[in-house]
Amino acid sequence: MGSDRYRRSALALSLLNQFPQSISESLISDSTFRSKFGLKADATISFDDSRLTVQRSKLFKAVREIFADNDTSPVVMDEEGIEWRLEIDQTVIKRIKISCRDKKFLLPDLTALSPNQIERLNGFDRDANEVNLGEPSLSEWREKLALAPLEDDEHESLQKDLRYTPARVAENILSQLKQGSSSVSSLVPNYTRYFCQLVGELKQSDNVSMYSQQEALEHFKKLLDWRPYDGFLHSLLLASHPYLPSKIRIDQLEEDDLLRAYEWLAKSGDRISQIGAVEIWLSNPGAMPKVETFVRDIIQQVRNDNEDNGGRMSLLSALIVLVDGELARTKILAGKPPFYRRLASIAHASLIERCLIASNADTSHFSDWAMNVRGQSFYLQGMADLRSEPRWDPEYVSARQFKAEFVGRIFNAAQLIVDTESKESIVRDLLAGDGNDDVRSLLPLMFSFLPGPLEGGIESQNDIPPEVQKSIEEQLSAEVLEPTSFAALVNSALYFRIDSNHAQIAAKALRSVKYQIKKGDKNELIFSVLRGLANVAAITRSGELAEEIRILARKCRQDAGRALSIEESMWIGLVAAAAYSEMPKWCEFVGEWVTELAFQAKQHEEIDRMHSIIKQLLHIVPELWLTCGRAEAATNNP
């Protein structure tokens, strides 16, 4: 029996050497895998301040000895063969001191290794409260610690849960930024539980409205119960939709804490948190008169923000692309609805923004870097998301759009106080004044009302005005269609509630003119028209219109001078595919469209670009291998 176990272990180790390091490390870190093959993991622990490097198993063995008998002073040997002595430090509750000649320091809290149940649980409760460890980790570890001391690998898993909490992650990011050594992997944790700790665990909600009334409400309460000041600032990281800050109860904060929080937000806060804080104040300005100065300052910052590269809106946009693109690559939260993943992405992007501000890091080239490293992943993930949430296009992540959205949110919230008796309000002039400096003067009426990143699955509540409906019908009933003939329908799809009847009108119009669109002097509008019609097909779930768009796009690629590239056709097809919400039909449509384009690509650069897009799309949606496998092979030039 023992020889069989040995052979299984030896075989597993041999096979692990055949895999890439990332895969083998992932398998070794899996306790179930190790148990199945009789493997034990060890690690080397380093303490930078003391230059101590020691094998974990040796250190933990000595720690267990000293917890079992406080009067012992075991010795461990480091990697250089130097002996270090361990002993209980009498000045700190159950902390162990390690020393070598004139060097001495306290080890981290290792009471999880103690044979004493009370010590284990008390130590865990202290650590968990310090970082606000939430469920399900909290209950799982308390249950384990109540039964027995942790094994070495279990202790590492506990530390991982404690390490990947928002408080600890922020500390780590800030430290790395100050040292100038950050990377994508260090900025964006590859750990699902971290993001659940950040924005609350998704249980049953399938849109942001439901989430704000259920999971978010519970999440905010726990945060404020933990520490009102810190919990309030943490809650504001979720303010990417106005439904969410409206659920934050600030009556648990003392007046001094509230003033301190708004002062910090005005000086060092991220844009998402600032907007949420402004909305909270505007909902009841009379209850918080002393923070009005800070609210004014925040509104002025948003009003004056530069949309160009280097501005805070541009930074936020780049951070969202970076985080969401990395989540697409690592497939963290892959099984969750897009709105939830975007909520987590934006919250973490905002946390990074806070760290960048605190570190005084140079962000002038950050946007370009973020787009280069994760832009395509972000964009393709957004295209795939359209299948379930068709109203938010990844194009809307621009700095210009975020500023328009934020100005619109401030203006909408401001309507609550414009008619109050506070005629001398110093914020009133910014919100409803007649000068060029007020927020209303910057309100871009169209862009402000586009759906936000968490609204892709929520139907517009605005009916099409009769005059717009009439314009759609007149434009699409003309004997000759031009790009502008589709303007009323395409624009209406962004702002109003449209249905399959509107898609049928467009499909019928295309058939009636035999897919002939007079280009005139506006050839450059062809892509915009097709992209807009694809958006109509997606929002109305009209397979009929999607098929007509396929024919029109094919004709535009064949006609001389249409200037519709293979890549542009790819984007049109991915949007139109969202007309099918069921995965099998969506995969079929995407597969047919992408395969046709793959075999039409002629230039080497075009083929390489197509292969890059297809390969990443297959990574994001593996179900597409069945329908896009030929396209991948056709563009995979050695």
- pLDDT tens-place string over residues 543-575: 999 999 999 898 888 775 556 888 999 999 999
- Of 141-155, 171-185, 328-342, 381-395, the one with minimum mean pLDDT is 171-185
Give me the pLDDT at residue 521, please: 45
Q: What is the pTM of this model?
A: 0.90
Q: How many residues are listed for the chain in this entry?
A: 638
C-alpha 169/C-alpha 185 separation (Å) is 12
Give me the pLDDT at residue 423, please: 42
- Per-residue confidence at 41, pLDDT binned at 50, 70, 90? low
The DSSP bridge partners found for residue 638 are none
Give me the pLDDT at residue 611, please: 95
Give me the pLDDT at residue 506, please: 87
Calculate the average pLDDT of the chain: 87
Give me the pLDDT at residue 624, please: 97
- Per-residue confidence at 330, pLDDT binned at 50, 70, 90? very high
Please give the average per-residue pLDDT across 439-466, as a whole number. 78
- CA–chain centroid gap for 81, Å, is 46
Instruction: Judge whether residue 94 has pLDDT over 80.
Output: no
Please give the average per-residue pLDDT across 186-197, as a whole number. 95
Spatial neighbors of 440 by CB under 8 A, at least 6 apart, are 411, 431, 432, 433
Give me the pLDDT at residue 499, please: 87
Q: What are phi and psi of 110, to 5 degrees?
A: -115, 25
Pick the residue with more confidence: 183 or 378? 378
- 193-204 tens-digit pLDDT: 999 999 999 999
DSSP state, residue 106 = E
Instruction: Judge whether residue 18 has pLDDT over 80.
Output: no
Please give the average per-residue pLDDT across 132-143, as a whole number. 93
Give me the pLDDT at residue 16, please: 62
Pick the residue with more confidence: 137 or 39? 137
DSSP element (H, E) containing 247: none
Please give the average per-residue pLDDT across 99-106, as a whole number. 86
Helical axes 604-620 vs 566-576, angle rounded to 10°: 20
Quote the tokens at residue 156.
């590492």
Quote the tokens at residue 534.
């694809």
Residues 593 and 558: beta-carbon distance below 8 Å: no
C-alpha 580/C-alpha 52 separation (Å) is 59
For the chain, domain boundaries: 2-36, 44-108, 117-163, 203-454, 490-635
Quote the tokens at residue 478.
């003309």
Residues 324 and 345: beta-carbon distance below 8 Å: yes
- Per-residue confidence at 479, pLDDT binned at 50, 70, 90? confident
- 485-530 tens-digit pLDDT: 888 888 888 888 888 888 888 888 888 876 777 665 455 678 888 9
